Structure 1
Amino acid sequence: MNLERDYIKLIFGLKLKQARTNRNLSLFGLAKITGLSKSYLNEIEKGKKYPKTDKIILLSEKLEVPYDNMVSLKLDNNLAPIGEILKSGILKEIPLELFGIQEDDLIDIIANAPAKVNAFISTIIEIAQHYNLSRESFFLASLRSYQEAQNNYFEDLEQKVEHFAKAFHVDLDLQISLDELKAILVEEYNYKIIELVFSEHEELGDLRSIFVLKSKTLLISTDVDEFQKAFIFAKEIAYNYLEIKERLYTFSWIKFDNFDQVLNNFYASYFAGALLLPKKKLIDNLNLFVSREAPKPQEFVQLISDFKVSPETFYQRLTNILPKDFQLKNLFFLRMSHKVGSGNYKIKKELHITNQQEPHANEMNEHYCRRWVSVKTIIESIKQNKNHFFDAQISRYENSNNEYLVFSSATPDPFKKDHIRSISVGILITPTLKKKFKFIDNESIIKQVVGVTCETCAVKNCLERAAAPIQLERKRRNENTDLIVNSYMQKYS
């Protein structure tokens, strides 16, 4: 898209529409007095066409607007903010097509109610600035919404993994080995793989790999364990097999140029997870686990270990499989991070299939509920000095009374020194879940009433509380004030 040319067309279209509506003319009416077709005028107003000089003169005369005003890029106060939005190119940053929205549709909405749309967009920008939301946060929120809209299951990628397995004679009933992944990269895709000590440079401490496109060289940190290495290899295979050109070159990524890179990074990660955790094998193993009356925690840990993947890869894959193949569509995924010795627990990644689940990340620096198993596994992993501490809990959210079966694993954060992270999946307890998970009523699973943040939680006598319920108290005070105001209004009506 030629941004300058298209910007000029869009601005002229907005001005034409404004001039027409100011005279209370319909498109049909304008067509009648100018002799121009309605469809042609509609294309001009939508910014698709720019009229020739004689047509502009004709429109100026009939609408009684000076020619210079019509062709000027200067907008009046009503449209000026919209012009700034169009000129900034922000619409190019929004992945509209991902949600089935055409840019023309958005332009039309803006043109129909410029003042209201401007107020709305300005509000969004102000909120983003207030909470320090970055371009990165915006893109990741867009991606998360896309995943949630698809129940985080992508049949085309599942099929491509199966096609890949046939083409490369990979048995998905068995665990694909690290050597086999490496051989495919080297022999099929002409990769050079070099291990380096990234930690020699403090700035590279958080990175696990760098791909050098020009020489097709994959640089791997010597700090990477076998699970991480397998995922990196599988992801590189995905980039090549899926023929992805617009991609990120580091793991974890440090920058991106556009949304396509973020989306393609997700596609490659999904493919890698599906290759390392084949659908049929995972479903079979899960069915065996959930059919047990009283499985032990170490059996779930073993379930992860059998696939030779990290807990995060395993839990992420659960969010693909549970909604589609177990009909458990009400679930959430959380990744929490904690710096050892601090009192902070932060949500770094979240996903909410069907978008109804608690908890959601909070940007107000409030304290997440210390009764969450996501927090407790972190605490216990530090206390017991375990590299992988697993626990499960039935959490009933005080505000909604929804109950979730939550699995959580805490491990040292491979990307941050002195940090522990927990990966959790919470599944809404429904008749379907009770039917499939035989151990759901087992007394060994702790049941706990939880909140979202301490500041908004009404649970009384909570020994784990990290802060007073100030937000809840403010809300109640306002509600009481409103009741008294209403009583006075009724009394003196």
Structure 2
Amino acid sequence: MEEEYIKLIFGLKLKQIRVDKKLSLFGLSKLSGLSKSYLNEIEKGKKYPKPDKIAILADKLDVPYDHMVSLKLDKNLAPIGDILQSKILKEIPLELFGIKESNLIDIVANAPAKVNAFISTIIEIAQNYNFSRESFYLASVRSFQEANNNYFDDIEQSVVAFAEAYQIDLSKPITSQDLEEILTEEYGYTINETELNKHHALDNLRSVFIPKTKTLLLANQIDDAQRTFIYAKELAYNYLEYKERLYTFTWIKFENFDQVLNNFYASYFAGALILPRDIITKELSNLFLKKEFDEKQFLNILNSFNASPESFYQRLTNILPKDFNIKNLFFLRFTHRAGSEKFYLKKELHISSLHSPHANETNEHYCRRWVSLNVLEDISKSKQEHIFDMQISHYPNENVQYLVLSSATKDPFRENHFRSISVGLLIDKQLKRKLGFLENTKIKTKQVGVTCERCAISDCQSRQAPAIRLEREAKNKQIESLVEDLKSRFS
């Protein structure tokens, strides 16, 4: 059994016994002759006393020595022991949010019944919604991104240092050939473009890395932008010296949280390398000064890099909060199969506020008035490679508006499948100061909901389902009002 676990259990038991006897730490110090700071270290699970010290504590607290050293916890502390033994705290990336495990255990120890009930509730919700370990880790990384406004200066500086070290001109589009040379010459990689496509079960993978031989297997249907991004990620793993990493892209298996976090860092590095911050900031500044949105100029900026629209939109979520102080925004990626009525929200990021929409597990119908869905329907019926559109989405229930920019493209790995990438910016005083074209009446405005089941727009011609959730809430409010009235009349 881990030494750390034994120390924590002993500390919890000592604190419980002390509190039960209504002793303060100062009082126990006077009683036992042991220093207050030493006892505090023991209770926090940082130190384990020697046998003679345990004997003194057992004697002064009138508790059998065997009970003191037993790993069996009393009933009210037993759930904590279960949590510690289950290693659930090892699964939670506490250090990412600056939380020490000992502090969390201290919180649990102070109110074991309530905290255990809370943890049990979270676990039950997770099980009912099929909330996997994978989902938990991804949610943790997403929360980490949101807490940092999705900007990481140390990675940005690493990109600049890397470009200088390898003489990469960031003012020009970076090609896969530029990066492949560094991978093969500097890091000893071998690139294989034939093996992966021999295995039909792997047709959704773009790459697989074999660490023993430093062989990178690539799918042959990827374009140069995708290849460049994959190479940039591999360079990030090597240059940043990440030992814990994922070996497939898109990834299908991980062993620990560090692999998921380092995958995010490597992706961030790749995006920052291919889409340099200084260039995008300068180009966007010129675009934002205009009194009318210049779609052609926006698309020229997007197309000036050797990157996919998704990579460009994701890069906007790094740059807009940092360089333009536009922090209330969301990023969405939807997928759609031509001829289907289903739209799937596969990726989301919400910075600063809990913006709508969110992915849901209740099989509801997303609002068909969103530009994110409109561009998907348009591209699925056309032969175009890329469709762009923009709208102001007004949520009447919340009385907020978002400027939403959206691009739709074909899914290169699945026939008749498409994806849309969207960035939504909350329209507030800050956005109005930054965007000169925001007051232009040519930008179409639509009233939108989140899902049909929760939408109060009565005259919607695109409704896919009745507002049953809204009706249920209204009924519950009516019941609540009537009960309050009865209580008042008969009191």
Aligned position for 2:355: 357
Structure 2 equivalent of residue 314 of structure 1: 312
Task: Label 1:360 to 1:480 Cα distance change in 2 as closer, same or farther (>3 A).
Answer: same
Give CA-to-partner distance per residue, 1:12-31, whole Å, 9 cap, x none: 21111111111111111112
1:57 Cα deviation after fit: 2.8
Q: Is the 8 A contact 1:330 1:356 kept in 2?
A: no
Aligned residues: CA RMSD: 1.7
1:150-165 pair list within 5 angstroms:
150-165=148-163
Corresponding residue for 1:70?
68
Shift of 1:120: 1.1
Q: CA deviation at 1:228?
A: 0.4
1:426 aligns to what SS in structure 2? strand
Cα distance in 2 for partners of 1:368, 1:61 equals 67
CA contact (8 A) 2:9 2:45 kept: yes
Alignment of 1:433-452 (within 5 A): 433-452=431-450
Cα separation, 2, equivalents of 1:38 and 1:358: 51
Q: What displacement does 1:325 show?
A: 0.9
Paired residue secondary structure (1:285)? helix
What corresponds to 2:486 in structure 1? Answer: 488
- 1:216 alignment counterpart: 214
Alignment of 1:150-189 (within 5 A): 150-189=148-187
The farther-off stretch of 205-214 and 414-423 is 414-423
386, 408, 418: which is aligned to 1:388? 386
Residue in structure 1 matched with residue 281 of structure 2 by the alignment? 283
Deviations 1:317-350 (A, max 9, x none): 0001111111211100011122333322121111
For residues 360 and 464 of structure 2, the distance between their equivalents in structure 1, rounded to whole angstroms, comes to 15
Indicate yes or no: 2:140 matched with 1:142: yes
User: Cα distance 1:307–1:343, how it changes in 2: closer, same or farther (>3 A)?
Assistant: same
What do residues 143-184 of structure 1 show as CA deviations (whole Å, max 9, x unaligned)? 111111111111111111111111111111111222111111
SS at match of 1:280: helix
**Residues 174, 306 of structure 2: 8 Å contact kept:** no
User: Distance between the aligned counterparts of 2:300 and 2:376, measured in 1?
Assistant: 19
> 1:456 is aligned with what amino acid?
R
Match of 1:401 among 396, 399, 402: 399
Q: Which residue of 2 aligns with 1:131?
A: 129
What is the CA–CA distance in structure 1 between the aligned matches of 2:415 and 2:36, rounded to whole Å? 65
Aligned residue number for residue 334 of structure 1: 332
Q: Give, in whole Å, the separation in 2 of the partners of 1:419 and 1:432.
A: 37
Structure 1 residues 276 and 50 mapped into 2: Cα distance closer, same or farther (>3 Å)? same
Report the 3-state secondary structure (helix = DSSP H, G, I; strand = E; otherwise coil) of the residue aligned with 1:392: strand
CA distance in 2, matches of 1:298, 1:434: 21
Q: Which amino acid aligns with 1:341?
A: G
CA distance in 2 between counterparts of 1:469 and 1:385 reads 35
Larger CA deviation: 452-461 vs 288-297: 288-297
Please state how far the C-alpha of 1:232 moved relative to its aligned partner. 0.4
Q: 1:33-78: per-residue Cα shift (whole Å, max 9, x none)?
A: 1222212211111112222233223322322333332222222221
Opposite residue 262 of structure 2, the aligned amino acid is: N
1:458-473 alignment, distance < 5 Å: 458-473=456-471
- The one-letter code sitting in structure 2 at the alignment partner of 1:129 is Q
Displacement of 1:196 after TM fit?
A: 2.0
Task: Determine the C-alpha separation between the residues in 1 that align with 2:194 and 2:73.
Answer: 56
TM-score computed with the length of structure 1 as normaliser: 0.96
Task: Number of aligned residue pairs: give it.
Answer: 491
The counterpart of 1:200, out of the listed 194, 198, 203, is: 198
Q: Which amino acid aligns with 1:361?
A: A
Shift in Å, 1:283? 1.5
Q: CA contact under 8 A between 2:345 and 2:359: conserved in structure 1? A: yes
Letter in 1 for 2:257: F
1:324 pairs with 316, 322, 333, which one? 322
Given that 2:281 and 2:319 are in contact with CA atoms closer than 8 Å, whether structure 1 keeps it comes out as: yes
Deviations 1:184-229 (A, max 9, x none): 1111212111102534323211110111111111111101111100
Q: Distance in 1 between matches of 2:212 and 2:196?
A: 20
1:39 alignment partner in structure 2: 37
Please name the residue that 1:273 is paired with.
271
TM superposition shift of 1:416: 4.3
- Contact map agreement 2:449 2:455 (CA 8 A) in 1: yes
Task: Report the Cα distance in structure 1 between the residues aligned to 2:112 and 2:270, rounded to whole angstroms.
Answer: 45
**2:455 aligns to what?**
457
Distance, in Å, in 2 between the alignment partners of 1:338 and 1:12 is 55
**Is 1:52 equivalent to 2:39 in the alignment?**
no
Aligned-residue identity in percent: 60
Partner deviation per Cα, 1:63-117 (whole Å, 9 max, x = no partner): 2333332222222221111111111111111111111111121111111111111
Q: Distance in 1 between matches of 2:374 and 2:12?
A: 56
Kindly provide the amino acid, as one letter, of the partner of residue 38 in structure 1. Answer: K
Q: Go from structure 1 to structure 2 and tell me whether the alpha carbon gap of 1:416 and 1:126 turns closer, same or farther (over 3 Å shift).
A: farther
Unaligned 5+ residue runs, structure 1? none
Q: 1: distance between equivalents of 2:42 and 2:184? A: 54
> What amino acid sits opposite 2:332 in the alignment?
L
Worse-matched range after superposition: 96-105 or 339-348: 339-348
TM-score (norm 2): 0.96
